[in-house]
Amino acid sequence: MPCTVVVGAQWGDEGKGKIIDILSRDADIIVRYQGGNNAGHTVVIGDKEFILHLIPSGVLRKGKLCIIGNGVVIDPEALLNEIGMLKKKGIKIDGNLMISESAHVILPYHKVIDKRRGAKIGTTGRGIGPCYIDKMARCGIRMIDLVNPEGLKKKIYANLEGSEEFNAGQIYNEYLEYGKKIKKYLANVSQVLNRAIAKKKDILFEGAQGALLDIDHGTYPYVTSSSATAGGACTGAGVGPTKIDKVIGVVKAYTTRVGEGPFPTEFEKDLMEKIRTKGKEFGATTGRPRRCGWFDAVIVRHAVAVNGLDEIVITKLDVLDEMDKIKICTGYKYKGRLYKDFPADIEILENCEGIYESCSGWMSDTTRATKYKDLTENARKYLETLSKLLNVKISMVSVGSKREQAFKI
């Protein structure tokens, strides 16, 4: 399919980086369309681990054009550090990376505001939310401004008028230097993509975070500040919805989330530690330990609907290899009422009781599986149960962190 969107269908950290790396083998262009350096996509190639925060995971494939779209908010320092890291590891960047002129820029005051206000909902403190606030308030600074000295000065001084906490001149000089280093990557991304679509190029749109962190469709207010669903690919890259051919959702074989917010299927302490240790469940961006729980079919059905998922990829099946019994949440019970669909009321989500069905575990090593038939009957039954509950086909399964530890179904 020429245009494919890959999204997280839980609370982020589903393993999208690895899946995008695999799918990018057959793509011409890979586009990141929302979020900022609050995201962390991890790809393991051989004995090398790459953690990417802004640049699309497809950069690890030779000859691929990687694009950062207008829907992304960019910390120039973080971007340049990531470019430097990749260059040191022998990854070609110049000529392979384009950045939207219209993407908004994170400034020092955004980070300070975020750390003051964002603690209650567990943000990363990287200035993402305040940057999006300025974007919507129409006082934001965009990447194109970094290469316009007079315009940049006017905007920075206007935004910091009356502030005694920040030195407008110092920030101006710092960001002007960033602009000089980034200028060669800037482009009208929407034009580039629409011309590529007209030429039938294969384009992969890479989402960050997950559907349940979407500003509109997630567990508000414990969400991110951007459109983390498939619809965000259109607004965040400048392509029309009729150009999207396929949407793929990525989910773990269990559930995790980082930070605050409701989590109906969260494990008790002992099981939490077991799965967290086996699954190496620590944030790629913050290092924070992830909360872990049983697979929640209610939230994933919601993600299937709001994204229009055509298929899903199951990751980290191997983490459940030593589980004798495995539970799947099929609904919530709150004040005597059964909820089969995702409720918008945060009160219900924070206080509901999960309704479960159980599956027998497989108690065997799946990490060496290279095709679906290599899995035991119980492992296959678990996957088939998930597919039936979600009413969507499973197209790929990942059984380890390495690039080759995945197979199509």
The residues annotated as belonging to the active site are 13, 41
Q: Please, are residues 321 and 364 in contact by the beta-carbon 8 Å criterion?
A: yes
CA distance 18 to 6: 11
Q: Which amino acid is at 288?
A: R
Closest listed residue to residue 219, CA positions, set 296, 136, 272, 286: 296
3-state secondary structure of 67: strand
Looking up tokens 């149960």 gives: 385
CA distance 248 to 244: 11
Contact partners, residue 83, CB within 8 Å, separation at least 6: 55, 93, 97
3-state secondary structure of 379: helix
CA distance 118 to 129: 8
Closest listed residue to residue 261, CA positions, set 333, 350, 332: 350
CA distance 309 to 395: 12
Query: Cis link prior to 221 (omega < 30° from 0)?
Result: yes
Tokens coding 217: 């469709």
Tokens coding 357: 């069905």
CA distance 231 to 28: 21
